[in-house]
Chain A
Amino acid sequence: MIKALVKILGLAALCGGGGIAHADLLGDAKRGETLFRDCRSCHQVGEGAQNRIGPHLNNIFGRKAGSVGDDYRYSKGLARMGADGLIWSFDTLDAYIENPKALVSDTRMAYRGMKDEKDRADLLAYLRDFSASPANIPESQPTARPREVELSSETLAIVGDKAYGEYLASECLTCHQRSGSNEGIPGVVGWPVEDFVIAMHAYKRQIRPHPVMQMMAGRLSDEEIAALAAYFEDLE
C-alpha cells in the first residue's frame, strides 16, 4: 500500500505538481455556506456580525461555551457547560449541531439537529473560516483532520495469532457487540485486517480521538493488534 502511494506521488511530482490530498479539510465550506441558510434567521457570522436571537458565530472555534460577551443572555445550561469547561471545537460543535439537546439539555436553540455527517462537516468548514487563522494564531483550532496513520510494511506484515486474538478480544466485546451491531458503538466484526491495524495504531498514537479507545489501544503491542485484527476479520 505504501509503495503504491509512493509511486503515485513520484509520478505526480514528475508531472510538475498537483497530487493527492493527505489530510482532509473539515468539509466543503462552499456547500456549508448554503447550509448556513438554515441558521441565518437566528445567527450572524462574518464582518459586523451581531448577536440576534442567537449569539454571533465569529471566532466560535476555540470559544468557551456561553462566553460571547456583549451582554448576550444564554440559557442556564449553556452557561453551565461553559463553566464546566466546554470549548467549541469541530467535535463539540459537531455533536451540538447533530442534536443540540443531547449536549445541552435546556438549550434555547430551537433546532432539531442536522443528522447528516457530511452536512455538519461542510457547515462547520464554512464557520471555521470566521475564526482565527492558524497562520496568524498558531494555537487556533485545526482546519483539517490528519490522514490515517501509515505503517511500515513490517508492522502490517505481522501475521496475527488468532487464538491470542480471541483471548484479547474478550475485553473489546464488553462494548463492541459480537453480533456486529452498530448501535451506539461501532461494530468491529469482519473488519479487514489492514483497516483494523491502521485504526488501532491511530488510537495508540492518539491521532484518533476517543479517550477510552486511546487507553485501550495504548497498551497493545504491534503483535497484539495484529492478533486482534486476525481474529475480528474472520468473525462472522
Chain B
Amino acid sequence: MRLNRRAFIGTGVAATAALQAPMVWSQGRARVVVIGGGAGGATVARYLAKDSNGEIDVVLVEPAKHYYTCFFSNLYIGGFQDMADLGHSYGTLAAEYGVNVVHDWAVGVDRDAKTVTLAGGAVLSYDRLVLSPGIDFVDGSVPGWDVSVQNKMPHAYKGGSQAELLKAQIEAMPEGGRFAMVAPPNPYRCPPGPYERISMVAHLLTQVNPTAKILLVDPKESFSKQALFEEGWQKHYGGMVERIGPDFGGDKVEVRADTMEVIIDGNAEKVDACNVIPGQKAGRICEMAGVTEGNWAPVTGHTMQSRIDGNVYVLGDASNQGDMPKSGYSANSQAKVAAMAIRGELLGSSVFPAKFSNTCWSLIATDDGVKVGAAYEATDEKIASVSSFISQTGEDADLRKQTYEESLGWYAGITSDMFG
C-alpha cells in the first residue's frame, strides 16, 4: 500500500497529500496514533512521549477509562488479588507525559489517507499508526458458543467484568458441583493462563466447596509448564482436577449454554459453571485496517512494523512475529522496540538492535509460584527464541514462595512501566 513518489505525483489528490505530509514533518509535530491501551499500547505511548521531548504528538485511543489488566485476573479468581487493584487509569500518561488519551472505539482505518475513524465520529490523521488491540475470538471455534452466551459461559479472557462473573458463578455452584473449562487451541493469549486458572479455581473451591470437581477439556496434546501444573494439582488439589486431552475427545467439544452441557466427542456432561476460552485472533481493528494474514497481523521482528504497511506497527497478542508467546510481558517488551524504531523514523534518533524477553509467572497455590521465560532476538524471518528457562518440579517451598513474590514485584513494575 505504500506509495512511492511517482505514484504521488500521478494524481492531483495524492500530490496534495504528498505536499502536506512534509509540512507536518517540518512545521507541526509528527503524530503517532496508538489503538489499544494495554501492555503494548500504553507502553509504546508512554515511551514515545517520554523520550521524544514533546516532538511527537502521541494520541492513545482506548475505550476504557479504567483498564483492568487481564494478567493477574486469575489471581483475582483465586482470591489473591482484589479487582480494584487490577484497575488502572490513564491520568498519569495524560498529565505527566502529555499523551492525548481519547476514550473511544476505533472503528476504521484508511491507510492511504493515513487516518483513523472513531465511533464518536472524529477522524485522526497519523504519520505512524500503532495497533495493539489484543485478541478477539474466532467464530465457531467451540460449536454452541458465541459472544451472545458469554454471560452464561464466560470466556473471562479479557480481564475485568468477565472474570468477576466467572468467579461469582463458581462461588454459586451447588455443593459437590462441577466446573468445566474448555481450553483454547494454539496459538492463544498467555500459554500457561488456562492452567493457572484451573489452579486458582481449585484453590477457590477447596475453600468454599471442597467436594466440587473440575473438568478441563483440552484440544491440545501438551501445554506450557505441564509437568509443574500437574505436579501442583496432585499435591494441592488431589483428585479434584480431571483433564480430557485430544486422545479422549478433548478436541471434539461443543457446548449448550441453555442446558449447561458440555458435549465431549458426542457425550453430554452436565456442569454447574463453565468457562469457554475459544480460539483467538487479532483484535478486529487489525482486520479492518487490512493488515492481517489469516488470524494475525504479520510484522517484522526488527521493528514490529507490519509486513503489509510500513507506516503501521502491530504489538502484542495481535501480531504474528514468530517465537514470542502472546503475553502482557511480550507486548511490553515489543512496545519498547517499536517506540525506539518509530522515534528513529520520525526524529532520526539512534536505533539499536532489537532485543526481546518474556517471563510468565503462574501461581499454583498459596505461595507456590512457578515461572517460564526466554530471550528473543530478531532475524529477518521472525523473532527467534535464543534461550529459555523454566521452574523445576520438586523445587522447595522457599524458592516457590520467592517466585510468587517475584511475580508481585513484576506486576508492580510492568504496570508502572505502562501507566507511569
Binding site for B on A (CB under 8 A): 5-6, 9-10, 12-14, 16-25, 132-147, 150
Q: How many positions in chain B have a CB within 8 Å of any CB in the partner chain?
A: 46
Report chain A residues within 8 Å CB of B386.
Answer: 23, 142, 144-146
In whole Å, how far is B48's beta carbon from the nearest beta carbon of chain A?
15
| In contact, B385 and A142 (Cβ under 8 angstroms) | yes
Given contacts A136-B191, A136-B224, A139-B372, contact A144 B377 (CB under 8 A): yes
Q: Considering the complex of A and B, which 6 residue pairs feature the smallest CB-CB distances, nearest first?
A: A144-B384, A23-B377, A16-B310, A139-B390, A134-B385, A19-B302
Report chain A residues within 8 Å CB of B358.
Answer: 138
Q: Name which of B2, B223, B302 has the most chain A CB atoms within 10 A of its CB.
A: B302
Report chain B residues within 8 Å CB of A144.
Answer: 323, 377, 379, 384-386
The stretch from B115-123, B263-271, B341-349 touching chain A is B341-349
Report chain A residues within 8 Å CB of B300.
Answer: 17-19
| In contact, A21 and B351 (Cβ under 8 angstroms) | no
Q: Does B26 contact A (CB under 8 A)?
A: no
| In contact, B345 and A13 (Cβ under 8 angstroms) | yes
Report chain B residues within 8 Å CB of A9.
Answer: 302, 344, 351-353
* Cross-interface CB contact of A134 among B323, B344, B378, cutoff 8 Å: B323
In whole Å, how far is B324's beta carbon from the nearest beta carbon of chain A?
6
Q: Does B360 contact A (CB under 8 A)?
A: yes
Q: How far is the CA of A16 from the CA of B344 in the complex (A)?
A: 11
Given contacts A13-B344, A16-B310, A19-B302, contact A146 B375 (CB under 8 A): yes
Report chain A residues within 8 Å CB of B374.
Answer: 134, 138-139, 142
Given contacts A17-B303, A134-B385, contact A22 B325 (CB under 8 A): no
| In contact, A139 and B389 (Cβ under 8 angstroms) | yes
Q: How far is the CA of A5 from the CA of B350 in the complex (A)?
A: 10
Q: Does B186 contact A (CB under 8 A)?
A: yes
| In contact, A25 and B379 (Cβ under 8 angstroms) | yes
In whole Å, how far is B321's beta carbon from the nearest beta carbon of chain A?
8
| In contact, B302 and A17 (Cβ under 8 angstroms) | yes
In whole Å, how far is B327's beta carbon from the nearest beta carbon of chain A?
8
| In contact, B305 and A136 (Cβ under 8 angstroms) | no
* Cross-interface CB contact of B191 among A20, A137, A145, cutoff 8 Å: A137
| In contact, A139 and B388 (Cβ under 8 angstroms) | yes
| In contact, B303 and A19 (Cβ under 8 angstroms) | yes
| In contact, B322 and A22 (Cβ under 8 angstroms) | no
Report chain A residues within 8 Å CB of B322.
Answer: 135
Report chain A residues within 8 Å CB of B384.
Answer: 23, 25, 142-144
| In contact, A17 and B222 (Cβ under 8 angstroms) | no
Q: Which of B297-313 contact A (CB under 8 A)?
A: 300, 302-303, 305, 310
Q: Does B354 contact A (CB under 8 A)?
A: yes
| In contact, B379 and A136 (Cβ under 8 angstroms) | no
Residue pairs across A and B with Cβ atoms less than 8 A apart, 5 shown, are A22-B379, A23-B384, A24-B379, A138-B385, A143-B384
Given contacts A14-B344, A145-B386, contact A137 B224 (CB under 8 A): yes
Identity of the chain B residue whose Cβ is nearest the Cβ of A59 in the assembled complex: B222
In whole Å, how far is B114's beta carbon from the nearest beta carbon of chain A?
14
